[in-house]
Amino acid sequence: MKKIRIPENILEKIAEKEMIEKNVLSGKISEGRVVVPLNRKRQGLEKPCAIGEGLSVKVNANIGGSPDISDPAAELEKLRTSVKYGTDTVMDLTIGKYWKRILSAVVRESPVPVGTVPVYGAVCLGGSVADLKSDDFIEVISTQAEMGVDFMTVHAGVTRSVSKIYDKSKRVGGMVSRGGKIIYRWMKENNMENPLYERFDEILDIASQYNITISLGDGLRPGCLADASDDAQYGELRVLGELSRRCRQAGVQVMIEGPGHVPLNLIEENVRMEKELCGGAPFYVLGPLTTDIGAGYDHITGAIGGAFAAWKGADFLCYLTPAEHLHLPDNEDVAMGVIASKIAAHSGDVAKKIPGALERNEKMSKARRDLDWELMQRNAMAPAAVERERKRYPERKDRACTMCGEYCALLD
């Protein structure tokens, strides 16, 4: 088993921030229960972070252009917005024009770890998905590794045998993962095995060389409540379990991506299955969304499931924005998505009694009891929002707000 090496100064910085002992942190990294996404080539990572067991739950913001909307300046604006509101990482998911220009700029400017989905880079090479060569998928991983990308989603779990389970499943929502579906289509049209699975050792070599954290993608995550926890989903999760063991053997950091749409009563099972099948690897969930009907407000449905998942052991929440299921998020959607996910992550931290979490709430509550608005603003999850609202509705002379006025329960 090869050893994972993280620079000492980074470990110290993280241990201090998480309020845990440095050797406890190192131990968990060695066991694969914690990852620190950090490409050896990466410059300017001012805010490194660790993701996993016993640590505060982290949040990722997806940015990047789409085939229809691609504007490098707009994506950099989203990067700044997501960092301003406290995202722990960003993923540049650009497909389409300017993808390399956007990714280079994001890696250069981002103070937080940057992730990608290399399959998206592959389809940007041009031509149809079916015409891509097996080498193209590996080549893009190499290129993005050299560009300094810290973590990459690898959809290696959509194998031929897993696809057969999916084909037989009578899913209501079908396959909703963009990366998973690209690989699935490629396999069908070329009648070949998933190149990311077949050539996983080559991917491990690259990941090991650059210290890239592999995020094993869930191409078969449920896209609606009715498909949650089905055979296709858990069949893929078993493959991800095997691949996670190979990552650990190769000294490559690994985390596992998870759903998706899951009713509240199945979220705990999802977390337990992931931890059991993948040797305690960090669990990186998208939501989960606890209902399918929240379009326009899926940052809220995602925050509900994310909070509960975080409490039960999910380590990393991919944000959802109000634009989910509707369109590419704009800058305002990005802000809302980060804030909602941060609230969810923090609700999990509080329930798990992560060091420092309750203390922050107590500071806020004392400020509230004392009607000290400056201090409330400073301790809020999103001080900018509190500032904005205070300007719209200034507090009264007695420092009560316009809700209860002179009958404020906190005036003594």
Instruction: Give the footprint of a copy of itself on residues 207-266 (CB under 8 A).
Output: 223-226, 261, 263-265
123 near a copy of itself, rule: CB under 8 A: yes
Judged by CB under 8 A, the chain residues 278 through 297 that form the site for a copy of itself are 290-297
User: Could you say whether residue 369 binds a copy of itself (CB under 8 A)?
Assistant: yes
By CB under 8 A, the residues from 325 to 364 that bind a copy of itself are: 325-328, 339-340, 343-344, 346-348, 350-352, 358, 360-362, 364
CB of 376 to a copy of itself, least distance (A): 7
Q: Quick check: 101 binds a copy of itself (CB under 8 A)? A: no
Which residues from 309-328 bind a copy of itself, rule CB under 8 A?
Answer: 311, 323, 325-328
Beta-carbon contacts of residue 97 (< 8 Å; ≥ 6 apart): 65, 70
Segment lying near a copy of itself (by CB under 8 A), choices 144-152, 210-218, 243-251, 394-402: 394-402
The answer to whether residue 388 forms part of the interface with a copy of itself (CB under 8 A) is yes
Three-state secondary structure call for residue 387: helix
Near a copy of itself by CB under 8 A: residue from 151, 197, 200, 308: 308
Tokens 């893929």 found at: 236
DSSP E strands in 275-397: the ranges are 283-286, 316-318
Alpha-carbon distance 31 to 128, whole Å?
Answer: 41
* Beta carbon of residue 162, minimum distance to a copy of itself (angstroms, whole number): 16
Helix axes 99-109, 72-84, angle to 10 degrees: 30
Q: Which two tokens stand for residue 1?
A: 């088993």
381 in contact with a copy of itself (CB under 8 A): yes
Pick from 19, 24, 69, 130 the residue near a copy of itself by CB under 8 A.
69
Here the tokens at position 299 are 């940052």
Spatial separation of the C-alpha atoms in residues 117 and 132, rounded to whole Å: 16
Q: Where in 30-49 is the site for a copy of itself (CB under 8 A)?
A: none
Interface of this chain with a copy of itself, residues 139 to 168, rule: CB under 8 A = none
- The window from 108-116, 138-146, 174-182, 201-209 that contacts a copy of itself (CB under 8 A) reads 174-182
Cβ at position 59, least distance to a copy of itself in Å: 14
390 binds a copy of itself (CB under 8 A): yes
Q: What is the DSSP string of 80-142?
A: HHHHHTT-SEEEE---STTHHHHHHHHHHH-SS-EEE-HHHHHHTTSS-GGG--HHHHHHHHH
- The window from 62-70, 101-109, 196-204, 243-251 that contacts a copy of itself (CB under 8 A) reads 62-70
Considering only residues 78 to 97 of the shown chain, the ones binding a copy of itself according to CB under 8 A are 95-96
**Residues sharing a CB contact under 8 Å with residue 108, sequence separation 6 or more, in sequence order:** 43, 44
What's the rounded Cα separation, in Å, for the pair 179 and 124?
A: 13
**Cross-strand pairs, 116:** 92, 152
